[in-house]
Amino acid sequence: MTMMWWIFLTSAIGAEPTSLGRAEPIPAEMREKMIGVTWREGCPVSLDDLSLLRIPHHDMDGQVQEGLLIVASTHAEAILQAFAAMHDAGFPIRQMRPAHEFGGSDDASMAADNTSAFNCRAVTGGSGFSQHSYGHAIDINTIENPYVRGSKVLPPEGSAYTDRADVRPGMITADGPVVAAFRAAGWKWGGHWRSLKDYQHFSATGY
């Protein structure tokens, strides 16, 4: 039997529950698009160990859209719960598309302010596998929440958001709903790192 998780939220007493996401095996046609782009032989996780999450979310205009994330199947239920909490809080997400739609380019995905998860690639600034390569990490609203190390800002468009005291829609804050939702899932935030700040990044391992 295929494993599938559903997360529901009832916003008012007596209201019908609304589905806030489900997990399913990656469809065959999507697997074909991933092979050689975001997954290849030698990657540290099998495609069979990843799940596709279908997640309704508020966009920047307040409309509800369906986003797609690919994560390690072991984290699927916890991540659905985290995004359900974010949806309940009304946190906006620009878009949520798998990295293969951007040719596997992290730079292109970030420049598009895309929220994504699995991508078998090197860690930023290094050569080892990133946590995204295992399906253990998610980057959210990459322009509003850039990677900052000294004078280096990724994506460059995120330079307008390096002043974290100037909070605007889509920005992640230490006391906000996104950090709280991922904390409940047992995931850690790159905004708490000391040597650099990766405000967009959450991971199961803390790296």
Whole-structure pTM value: 0.90
Residues 49, 152: Cα–Cα separation, whole Å: 34
Q: Per-residue pLDDT tens for 104-125? A: 999 999 999 999 999 999 887 7
Q: Per-residue pLDDT tens for 136-186? A: 999 999 999 999 999 999 999 999 999 999 999 999 999 999 999 999 999
Q: Per-residue pLDDT tens for 52-84? A: 999 999 999 999 999 999 999 999 999 999 999
Residue 66: per-residue pLDDT: 96
CA-nearest of 68, 87, 85, 64 to 24 is 68
Largest CA distance in the chain: 53
CA-nearest of 79, 1, 44, 154 to 67 is 79
Three-state secondary-structure class, residue 154: strand
Cβ-Cβ contacts under 8 Å for 183 (sequence gap 6 or more): 189
CA-nearest of 70, 75, 76, 141 to 110 is 141
Residues 157, 143: Cα–Cα separation, whole Å: 6
